[in-house]
Amino acid sequence: MKTMTCRELGGPCDLEHRGETADDVIQAQDKHLKDAEKSGDAIHQAARDAMKGRWRHPKKSLGWYNDMKKAFADKPED
């Protein structure tokens, strides 16, 4: 299990996401940003818009995804 924060994943806060894989924490970040958007949290809106763009254009966003996978791999186990 490893931990990455919202900020490390491109967001504005330090909420921690834990997971066994990079995909686990990326999906947790996506849910966090969706929830923030639904609650009207304007601080997270730019990160949410960026995340939506990545899901819509996965080939274009492969660089971000690979960077996050590497960052996750470099993290120590919790």
Domain boundaries along the sequence of the chain:
2-74
| Mean pLDDT across the chain | 93
Convert 35-59 to b/e letters by CB count within 10 Å (16 or more is b): ebbeeeeeebeebbeebeebeeeee
> How confident is the model over 15-30, as pLDDT tens digits?
999 999 999 999 999 9
Which candidate, 39, 57, 70, 60, places its Cα nearest to that of 31? 39
Q: Is the pLDDT of residue 65 over 80?
A: yes
Going by pLDDT thresholds of 50, 70 and 90, the confidence category of residue 60 is confident
Give CA angle at 21 (16, 27), nearest 5°. Answer: 60
- Evaluate if residue 57 carries a pLDDT over 90: no
